[in-house]
Homo-oligomer: A and B are copies of this chain.
Amino acid sequence: MIKIAILGYGNLGRGVEAAIKQNDDMELTGVYTRRDPAGLKIKTEGVAVRAASELENGRDDIDVLVICGGSATDLPVMTPHYAQWYNVIDSFDTHANIPTHFKNVDKAAKNGGKVGVISAGWDPGMFSINRVYADAILPCGQAYTFWGKGVSQGHSDAVRRIEGVKDARQYTIPVEKALDAVRSGSNPELTTGEKHTREVFVVAKDGADKAAIENAIVTMPNYFSDYDTTVHFITEEEMKRDHSGLPHGGSVIHSGTTGEGNKHVIEYSLKLDSNPEFTGSVLAACARAAFRMNKEGVTGAKTILDIAPAYLSAKSDEDLRAHYL
């Protein structure tokens, strides 16, 4: 049994907990929190909730620590810190800062003799793997990544910060025409705004100026101004009834040519009812891989690109060769 602990019990932490339950070779040995442990009720019976401070200096009941924090300020500090004592997994997703984060975790994990898998999930994660495989197989080609339909938490948060907004949910939606063009293998040139539209559901505060809110949304630089954005005002009840899930998904489509112009299209797509539960499931599989690699003497930072597929699976190499190959 691989003894796994979770640090941080938000949506993602709960997703990891749900994934551990589905894997017979893993057990949850603790949930750690920076809040008051007494105030936290988790779903797994008989598992202790402890203060994050109890992780200091290493514990025997943890083979892998899955760190479920935010990429902006939590993970850049937490992952290198805990990598000195534990094999660690995170879902660091600020793409531009991955090289720096990798370097910091690599140093700490090598010093500690541990493995740190960073940026696991689906993008970065499974989508990255598919971009790399496709480019390696069809170097004369081009990859396109589409996201959605799904809830973008970053965009939802940005709308919530607008004056007069009580609650908001933002869906990223791939443009069907753009998807079709890419799938045809025609390698179209597409701007960001031509690939996706954005749909926003807003609960306005009483008496708020809806026209001003809508204008603030559609003109918001980086987040909305480059997109075709639709804003709907709804009631709190409608928000709760229709938009409480966190679905997401998307596609990586790579088209390329070989020989004398033969076209090939590779597509990897995800349709996810729950973004955090799927991401948590990828993190759990990476925890297994980190545990195994470390047992074989591997140390340092890794990404999912450095992990052979077989390491993620609970099945033996023999079983995989006989039944999955």
Contact = CB atoms under 8 A, between A and B. Distances in A.
B139 A312 contact: no
Interface string A296-321: 00000001111111101111011011
A88 B320 CA distance: 21
A295 interface: no
Contacts of A132: 309-310, 312-313, 320, 324
A179 interface: no
A129 interface: yes
Nearest to A263: B273
A273 B262 contact: yes
B312 A306 contact: no
Given A15-B258, A132-B309, A324-B131, A139 B314 contact: yes
Interface in A149-195: 183, 185
B269 A99 contact: no
Given A124-B325, A267-B268, A310-B132, A277 B258 contact: yes
A322 B133 CA distance: 16
A10 B14 CA distance: 53
Copies in the complex: 2
Contacts of A305: 308-310, 317, 320-321, 324-325
Given A138-B281, A306-B310, A265 B258 contact: no
Contacts of A277: 258-259, 262, 264
A265 B320 CA distance: 21
A128 B258 contact: no
A18 interface: yes
Nearest to A270: B266
A101 to B, nearest CB: 9
A128 B22 contact: no
A313 B130 CA distance: 12
Contacts of A315: 135
Contacts of A32: none
Contacts of A133: 126, 129, 309, 312
A18 B273 contact: no
26 contacts: A15-B258, A22-B139, A22-B140, A22-B258, A95-B325, A98-B322, A126-B266, A131-B324, A132-B309, A135-B315, A136-B309, A136-B314, A137-B281, A137-B282, A137-B312, A138-B281, A183-B271, A263-B273, A264-B272, A264-B274, A267-B269, A268-B268, A269-B269, A305-B309, A305-B310, A306-B317
Interface of A: 14-15, 18-19, 22-23, 95, 98-99, 102, 119, 124, 126, 128-133, 135-140, 183, 185, 258-259, 262-274, 277-278, 280-282, 285, 288, 303-310, 312-315, 317-318, 320-322, 324-325
